[in-house]
Amino acid sequence: MKFFVFVGTSVDGFIARRDGAYDFLGGDEAETHGYEEFMAGIDTLLIGRNTFEVVAKMESWPYEGKRVVVLSRRSLDFSRIQAPVEQMSGDPAEIAKRLEASGAKHVYVDGGETVQEFLRAGLVHKLTITRVPVLIGEGIPLFGKVEKDVRLRHINTRQYRSGLVTSEYEVIAEG
Amino acid sequence: MKFFVFVGTSVDGFIARRDGAYDFLGGDEAETHGYEEFMAGIDTLLIGRNTFEVVAKMESWPYEGKRVVVLSRRSLDFSRIQAPVEQMSGDPAEIAKRLEASGAKHVYVDGGETVQEFLRAGLVHKLTITRVPVLIGEGIPLFGKVEKDVRLRHINTRQYRSGLVTSEYEVIAEG
């Protein structure tokens, strides 16, 4: 089983403003930049509570046809969600065990804190980062502290007319 | 007169570790990635005190043949420097006026705080950022707060076998 991150950020590394708004990411545009190909390879989504609360308010459920697991210790309101959604809590290693045992193969990890936790735990296999050409100065950062340097292997970078730049990295597992 | 930024960072946006070390940037390697071409177009370097203190300790003066201005309110020890170095202090707009009046045309702004101040003041014309494939988690960040979004125009991105990715952006002047 492998964990993947696929995310849009400002050039200064924010995935959202402080209040969660992500207007600066250019809306739907970012989604045409490899998102469909990426999602085609994913069977399970693992999202944090904050991300869940954002997508729960969307007009249409963005994860149609995928298994969705929300990480939260608090109880969540699933009443408005028509799709099947599970809840789990625990540290990344525990979550990984439970997901693997229940058949997950390619897991998309999304949401600031969740991504940071899984990176820190050395569990992320690949990172695909799309940089949107703007500096917003403050907000919710993609990256956080790590216990030691996390070495990456650059796989490929693509640039788009819109000014978006997408870089794909594999996390080099520590020997 | 125009201000340029040309800098190497980790994928998580740090130009140095907390103690100023930049071992993770891969040493000389980064300098072969467009640095010489970039420097050929530069007549003046504007660096902060921290950057000055780092380069002052280097075996050879890295800015040979360029006018060098160090931004600092404190007095600096120029005794070990064989090259001519000037000192200035003031806010970015004042510095820009003095540099322009004294004939500077293409100014390389270097050093974390100095870059952030000039970006905040809307004075940077172009940013060239080379991302080194590593996450270091904490250190001296390239970017800081801005008063409002700074929109960028992506010019070009190059990727190197070493895994380094260099993106060039123009800052879009506010109308």
ipTM (interface pTM): 0.93
Residues 6+ apart with CB under 8 A from B69: B44, B45, B46, B47, B85, B86, B87, B88, B95, B99
Q: Each residue of B78-104: pLDDT tens digit?
A: 888 888 899 999 999 999 999 999 999
Query: How many Å apart are CA A111 and CA A7, to the nearest integer?
Result: 9
Residues 6+ apart with CB under 8 A from B58: none
**Using CB atoms, which residue from A12, A150, A165 is nearest to B13?**
A12
CB contact under 8 A, B135 and A154: no
Query: pLDDT band at residue A59, thresholds of 50, 70 and 90?
Result: confident
Size of interface A-B (CB pairs under 8 A): 96
In chain B, residues 83-112 whose CB comes closer than 8 Å to chain A: none
A133 to chain B: which residues are within 8 Å by CB?
Answer: 151-154, 169
Please tell me if residue B154 touches chain A, with a CB cutoff of 8 Å. yes
The structural domains of chain B, ordered by start, are 2-20+31-171 (3.40.430.10)
Query: How many Å apart are CA A113 and CA A51, to the nearest integer?
Result: 10
Please tell me if residue A18 touches chain B, with a CB cutoff of 8 Å. no
Q: State residue B32's pLDDT score.
A: 62
- B78 burial class (0-12, 13-18, 19+ CB within 10 angstroms)? middle
B138 to chain A: which residues are within 8 Å by CB?
Answer: 145
Confirm if B159 and B172 have CB atoms less than 8 A apart: no
Q: Each residue of A98-142: pLDDT tens digit?
A: 999 999 999 999 988 999 999 999 999 999 999 999 999 999 999
Q: For residue B131, which phi and psi values (nearest 5 degrees)?
A: -95, 125
- Shortest distance, CA A3 to any CA of chain B (angstroms): 17
Please tell me if residue B13 touches chain A, with a CB cutoff of 8 Å. yes
Which of A42-51, A121-130, B52-61 has the least mean pLDDT? B52-61
Q: Which residues pair with B170 in a beta bridge?
A: B126, B153
Helices A92-101 and A112-120, axial angle in degrees (round to 10) = 90
**Using CB atoms, which residue from B137, B145, B149 is nearest to A146?**
B137
Q: Which two tokens stand for residue A13?
A: 């590394």
Which of A41-50, A82-91, B76-85, B115-124 has the least mean pLDDT? B76-85
Long-range contacts of A53-58 (CB under 8 A, 24+ apart): A54/A20, A56/A80, A56/A81
Please tell me if residue B155 touches chain A, with a CB cutoff of 8 Å. no
Q: Which residues pair with A134 in a beta bridge?
A: B151
- pTM beyond 0.80, yes or no: yes
The SS3 assignment for B6 reads strand
Helices B112-120 and B49-56, axial angle in degrees (round to 10) = 150
The SS3 assignment for B136 reads coil
